[in-house]
Amino acid sequence: MAAIRILGLDPGLRHTGWGVITVEGARLSHVAHGVINPKDSLPFAERLRLLFEGITRVVELHAPHEAAVEETFMNNNAASALKLGHARAMALVVPALAGLPVAEYAAKVVKKAVVGTGGADKDQVAFMIARILPTAGPTTADAADALAVAIAHAHARKARQLTERSAA
């Protein structure tokens, strides 16, 4: 079975976390992670351009086979939610333009896949990322969340494959 490389993205206008893992059978391995941080002082369009270019560089450098994006948490502030939606669009569009299948996962699904409960906090997610991917080293909350999205996608892929095999 060939290794599959998955890009996980945790979109945000200030901080977009990204993480790349490989999946070979049941084994998960860390490849790379980081955060794209456009400056708050830049015009909105410029910040989106920097997100687009940053995610493009990650895709070009790490050549993932698939991508997964965390769905946005609904904010009570409509203006903030709309701006976050633009950042999320960059996280969806860039991998799609590269020809990658892009999956989306709710935050509760991601947390449950990594921690075992959908109500986990960021510290619990980071703790489990350090256990699941020990070679990742220290991660920021945004990068840990992105790696968690990639792990949730790896688990969902495995479940889909098992279901497809049993149906065949």
Q: Are 31 and 5 in contact (CB under 8 A)?
A: yes
Instruction: State the catalytic residue, choosing from 10, 53, 66, 104.
Output: 10
Instruction: State the catalytic residue, choosing from 70, 71, 145, 164.
Output: 70
Q: Is 121 a catalytic residue?
A: no
Instruction: State the catalytic residue, choosing from 60, 121, 142, 145.
Output: 142
Q: Is 10 a catalytic residue?
A: yes
**Token pair in block for residue 157:** 């892929």
Torsion region of 91: left, alpha or beta (phi above 0 gives left; psi -120 to 50 gives alpha): alpha
Rounded Cα distance between 116 and 136, Å, is 20
Torsion region of 156: left, alpha or beta (phi above 0 gives left; psi -120 to 50 gives alpha): alpha
Which residues on neighbouring strands pair with residue 23, listed in sequence order?
A: 4, 28
Q: Are 17 and 146 in contact (CB under 8 A)?
A: yes
Sign of CA dihedral 140, 6, 21, 57: negative
The residues annotated with a catalytic role in the active site are 10, 70, 142
